[in-house]
Structure 1
């Protein structure tokens, strides 16, 4: 397999797992893994129900996302497609979608895990959590 990034995108519109899986389809792949991070209706730090997340991104976020995807693809000889949403997302909406293919399952799982962990640590995207009573809180700032 030739390691590569099939897609690394910051999007203000919906993102779909099917599109990502199609982009990593490769005849040399013996394994595909995926991850979908969705907006949930609760948070341990929230006093009430969470109704939305509002994501914003640094102008360089897409380039950073590509670099993170390339690093994981190279480290695990994988093909990667990854997108992160920005804007206001409702409960149930996909915020992050990752698809990975590799010759073997170990590489596919490891690359997928590396990408989501690197996104959480390094991607300059921030979220404001909105609760049912209108309370808001910024999450993910400073680590």
Structure 2
């Protein structure tokens, strides 16, 4: 009885890496990291100055004092301070990222895929019409041949 050789660790690892979804995931992570820099620049260069026109450009400075006295910063801070400005900044970054991804990537891609699907269905619909038309023509030819045979038998 000969044993079937099991694939080694290296072969299994190579097969894992060569799967399409692993490569796609790696590409998505790299693109996502590059895209994060763009979004952060938009927030820093456009959104924060717009918010700064109303208040301050640095959203991290917005806070509320939960327990007095709220003095100092860092290790020397006293009291309990709620830093809601940083939460607002992170939320704005998330919303902007989601909007840019949706409007510049997801929406155009879904419209493109919908157009491709419509074209595919149109081609299939055209083939069905042609097939139905051809079938009808063949039935008419058959009926005409049957009619000719029937009329030919009566003449003989």
TM-score w.r.t. structure 1 length? Answer: 0.28
Structure with more helix by fraction: 2
Q: Of the two structures, which has the highest relative contact order with CA contacts closer than 8 Å and spacing of 6 or more? A: 1
Higher normalized strand content (fraction of residues): 1
**Which of the two has higher C-alpha Rg?**
2
